Amino acid sequence: MARSRASAPRRTATTRERLAAASGLMLAAALVLVPAGAASAHDYLVSTDPAADSTVSTPIDQVDLTFNDAVLDFADSTRLQVTGPDGGSTHFETACATVANTEVSAPIALGEAGEYTVVWRIVSSDGHAVSDTYSFRYEPADGTTAAEGSSSGPDCGEAAEAPSDSAPSTGPGSDSYLLIGTAVVIALVAAVTFGIIILRRPRDEDGEE
């Protein structure tokens, strides 16, 4: 009887140690797997100036795009084009896009009032090309000088095209959420399985009866 009373605290302590070990495994797995899933997502557009679907009432001389991570800048890899309300046949960017860390910019000179479309393409920090478009309206005051624009814009290499397979412009891609969710589920299943195996081990392995 005395031996049984003496061994009780030991059994309690051992159970707690096993639960702590299972929790530690779950945390370690989550820390390893979740960042790996998140890192696979393409860069995405955080903000624009002018903003998407906004109305600009004063002349502006530049379009600015801000991304969530540093944009890779290779020769002819970045495009930023601004076309006007005539169906996109006239360009109003006056020079090629420039990259400064997470910022992509291009100078512009807008023409007549109407809807303008911004077409952009970058190389994401994961090495993949990402592209998208957005629009804003230009409603200048009467008498504001209108730029003529050009039929092709500045010569910046191969022209950017409207995206057919691009990352969302306002947040992480859905593929990143899927990978993160899968990693978390794997971590939880591994932790629970490990905990069950440990807790069901024969007590005599710890010198208990």
Q: What is the mean pLDDT of each run of 10 residues along the chain (209 residues)?
A: 50 58 57 47 92 96 97 90 94 96 97 97 92 97 95 77 43 47 63 62 52
What is the tally of structural domains in the chain?
Answer: 2
Asked whether residue 9 is assigned to any structural domain, the reply reads no
Answer yes or no: do 33 and 67 share one domain: no
Q: Which residue has the tokens 């440990």?
A: 198
Answer yes or no: do 61 and 35 share one domain: no
Answer yes or no: do 36 and 68 share one domain: no
Asked whether residue 65 is assigned to any structural domain, the reply reads yes
Asked whether residue 80 is assigned to any structural domain, the reply reads yes
Q: How far apart are CA 57 and CA 1, in angstroms?
A: 90
Domain that holds residue 37: 26-41+172-209
Confirm whether pTM is higher than 0.85.
no
Closest by alpha carbon to 138, among 75, 195, 44, 53?
53
For residue 69, the model assigns a pLDDT of 95
For residue 74, the model assigns a pLDDT of 85
Do residues 111 and 90 touch, judged by C-beta distance below 8 A?
A: yes
Residue 80 tokens, joined: 């930023």
Answer yes or no: do 134 and 179 share one domain: no
Answer yes or no: do 37 and 56 share one domain: no
Q: How far apart are CA 89 and CA 152, in angstroms?
A: 8
Q: How far apart are CA 169 and CA 118, in angstroms?
A: 12
Answer yes or no: do 67 and 130 share one domain: yes
Answer yes or no: do 58 and 125 share one domain: yes
CATH of the domain at 53: 2.60.40.1220
Q: Give the end-to-end CA distance of the chain in Å, rounded to a whole number.
A: 12
Sheet containing strand 55-56, strands side by side: 55-56, 129-138, 114-123, 79-83
Asked whether residue 165 is assigned to any structural domain, the reply reads no
